[in-house]
Amino acid sequence: MTTTVPAPPRSTAPAVLDRIESVTLSSVTLPLPSPISDAKVFTGRQRPMTEVAFLFAEITTEDGHEGVGFSYSKRAGGLAQFAHASEVAPDLIGEDPSDVGRLWTKLVWAGASVGRSGASTQAIAAIDVALWDLKAKRAGLPLAKLLGAHRDSVRCYNTSGGFLHESVEQVKDNATRTLEQGIGGIKIKVGLPDSAEDLRRVRAVREHLGDGVPLMVDANQQWDRPTAMRVSRRLEEFDLVWIEEPLDAYDAEGHAQLARSLDTAVATGEMLTSVAEHAELIRHGAVDVLQPDAPRIGGITQFLKLATLADVADLQLAPHFAMEIHAHLAAAYPREPWVEHFDWLHPLFNERLETRDGRMYISDRPGLGITLSEQTRAWTVDRVTVGAIR
């Protein structure tokens, strides 16, 4: 007679590989070398930008693994991000850092009464990025490789040399230096109250660059629908890669009308603060080049969801700002993307991304491949640690 011994019930609890021991949050103010003006300043909607507020999250685990991530705010919002992150971070202590998606949801619910977009999820973004950095470091892989890279470099273009507070001659000089640094494309700002001046500046830069250099323009949401249609049609003669933010970021229908009417690609999305908002652009057919910003939409977890939607819709991808994060995410996008080069963030990190032959190269350093500089520590205006301190 054979006796069958029933197997013990299988545990439904997930295996725990490690536990979060501490989370350190730092509010850092990055001063800009000179006040920055785009079209929003010239239309009276904003003051020149003199600094950028950063929220850094540094996570350590019981097994000694570490991850670093960041979010940011231009002009107002940095204090709100720091305050919200400080409130929800205690909910991470003792959690397994591998469960990044579950932890994102947990933190959203911890602050559910203030919503799932804007400052609250931008605060969570810094933590989410740190968790992904930690995960890739523990695997010994650059983040792009962990995600599944399609390439080891991405096309890149520069924006920081093309603002409206500088003369067109200075913008041309900036463009020349940019190309000499191995960056492949140039973006300049438009959207002035006098559209004739916009056209004069674009013409001057295009003639300076010649026909072979990729050129983009960015109106920073400062045109109404008739102006956007009229000026964009005039801009088509300059063989632009795209026309960026011609309309208010939330005007999906207006962007769709432009996209249907122009031969030049329409790009937008950087000012949106959730996957759901981007999904509306996609649903309306309002964009040719989607420009999400991982720190603005809640981090890498949310960016990956959006990237899948963009790929299914056959869209080009050109993430906004934060190239230290976006180079990895763009490298993992199936279609050839663009990444925006900004030199403003150089003082924050000890490492530099390599640019040559028009491309930005993913380093072989694990994770994001960045460490915080001593200057970042010096610019820290507030700091809090939850959990154990080693």
Look at residue 113 in the predicted model and tell me its pLDDT: 83
Tokens 């950063």 belong to residue: 54
Mean pLDDT over 183-199 rounds to 96
Domain boundaries, the chain: 20-140+373-387, 144-361
| Binding site residue list | 38-40, 74-75, 187, 218, 220, 244, 270, 340
Tokens 């930690």 belong to residue: 134
Look at residue 5 in the predicted model and tell me its pLDDT: 42
Residues recorded for the chain: 390
Look at residue 389 in the predicted model and tell me its pLDDT: 65
Distance between CA 220 and CA 247 in Å, rounded? 8
In the beta sheet, which residues pair with residue 69?
A: 57
Distance between CA 106 and CA 116 in Å, rounded? 12
Answer whether residue 11 shows pLDDT above 70: no
- Give the other-Cβ count within 10 Å of 9's Cβ: 6
Q: Point out the residues that are catalytic.
A: 189, 320
Residue partners of 115: CB distance under 8 A and separation at least 6: 121
Distance between CA 58 and CA 48 in Å, rounded? 31
Q: What is the gyration radius of the CA atoms in the chain, in angstroms?
A: 22
Q: Which two tokens stand for residue 259?
A: 């996209």
Distance between CA 166 and CA 53 in Å, rounded? 23
Query: Using CA atoms in the order 313, 318, 324, 327, what is the torsion angle rounded to 10 degrees?
Result: 60
CATH number for the region 144-361 comes to: 3.20.20.120
| Binding site residue list for Mg(2+) | 218, 244, 270
Q: Which amino acid is at 85?
A: A
Give per-residue pLDDT as tens, 25-35.
Answer: 999 999 999 99
Neighbour-count burial for 281-316, b at 16+ CB within 10 Å, e otherwise: bbebebbbbbbbbbbbbbbbbbbbbbbebbeeeebb
Whole-structure pTM value: 0.93
Look at residue 7 in the predicted model and tell me its pLDDT: 44
CA 257 to chain centre: 26
Residue partners of 196: CB distance under 8 A and separation at least 6: none
Answer whether residue 137 shows pLDDT above 90: yes
Closest CA to 289 of 243, 355, 226: 243
Mean pLDDT computed over every residue of the chain: 94
Q: Answer for the pair 155, 331: CB distance below 8 angstroms, yes or no.
A: no
Look at residue 112 in the predicted model and tell me its pLDDT: 84
Mean pLDDT over 252-278 rounds to 97
DSSP state of 165: T
Mean pLDDT over 142-166 rounds to 96
Look at residue 8 in the predicted model and tell me its pLDDT: 45
Q: Does domain 20-140+373-387 have CATH number 1.10.3470.10?
A: no
Query: Using CA atoms in the order 51, 345, 273, 145, what is the torsion angle rounded to 10 degrees?
Result: -170
Give per-residue pLDDT as tens, 227-261.
Answer: 999 999 999 999 999 999 999 999 999 999 999 99
Distance between CA 118 and CA 131 in Å, rounded? 20
CA 278 to chain centre: 14
| Binding site residue list for substrate | 38-40, 74-75, 187, 220, 340
| E strand or H helix that includes residue 158 | strand 153-158
Q: Answer for the pair 21, 90: CB distance below 8 angstroms, yes or no.
A: no
